[in-house]
A and B are shown apart, each in its own frame.
Chain A
Amino acid sequence: MAAALEILFTASFWVAAVRIASPLIFATLGELICERAGVLNLGIEGIMVAGAFAGWFTVYSGGDLWTGVAVAALTGAAFGLLHGLLTVPLGLSQHVTGIGITLLATSLTYYTYRLALPEVTSPPKIEAFRPLEIPLLADMPLVGPALFAQTPFTYLAFAAAALVAWLLYRTPLGLALRAAGENPDALEAQGLSVTAIRMGAVAAGSALMAVGGAFLTMSAFNSFFFEMVNGRGWVCIALVVFGSWRPGKALLGAILFGAFDAYQVRLQGVVGDAVPYQVFLMLPYVLSILALVAVSRRASYPKALMVPYRKGER
């Protein structure tokens, strides 16, 4: 039992927790932006796959790392625009379209991968982001390595959380975005376009999801392989609910989740073969469901979430 507790006091555990949380932070923020504007985006899983590939492939083809991040974001935005076009002006079912986007983004990615690298058996590696220690701060116990000895990509995740929070609550655009998700009529009555705001939000949110995917291939690992997103997108949808559609809480939720995931991996080492490893791998998904059960009753979701808006129909 003591060994199981000691894990919590190792720096490597907290470093891993924050690393695991980073892609989830991006993608959760992305989903949060979409949902705050009133659009559920189940394309998240596939968009993360596409982003993971796009970022990695850009670097593999000779681009620099930040270019890779930008290309991933653009790829995500493109899929987001498609999801937005189908669900916002055309008003298709957000559930079905989202699943369709996930299937499309995933299969297109795999197709492109096979087309670009027909011969390879093991995925090629790239020179990924390296940890960047922030002097002095990184020397603090536990917190130091966890928060200040990560890759620049992780710092970007935290910056993104702050930026999204600022955007939502401190800018006219954020006000419009929230209104789009609460009462689109209010937005339209003030002369703003619900279609434009929602499409923009879905594109921007999808870009963040793709960047989250790119984190996997460019910072957490250094190559692209199939099934690497592995349900992380769906976990992020749960995290949005868990975080009550607030960026700060979502950030916290992602880190908690990362900590839990890092912990179960280390716990496997402690427990050994007594419990099958699959049980540990299941825990994050089970945890997501439990978290949903815990908060869903009193969740105050955006009022117009999943309600298509058609002009003139009241």
Chain B
Amino acid sequence: MPKVKDICRHVRTKNAGPFWVTVDFFYKDFDTYKEYKDSEDLGPDLFARLFGTDPTSIKRIPVDSLHMVKVSYVRPNAQAWKGERDMHSGQSFARLLDIDVRPSTSGGAV
């Protein structure tokens, strides 16, 4: 099964204001994008598990013209809280790279 790093040419994370983190998945090409963009393996549960976010708050916007999907989630603690380890959430992408991804249609828990 391919991993995120196999189907995306670039993945990045960044704070979007102090309360949100935004993830950009840039797929390798349009066909890969079409095949995987709605994969349930990249659904809200993944972000809840990896980043401790509330899965109901997740925003997910695919952009056909750029072969990319933007996912944004609420930080469990606002930027700069006393336990902060990554002020800009710029390293969070690394936790996504080795996630196994099945194509959009082939299931996974909804």
Q: Do A and B come from one complex?
A: no
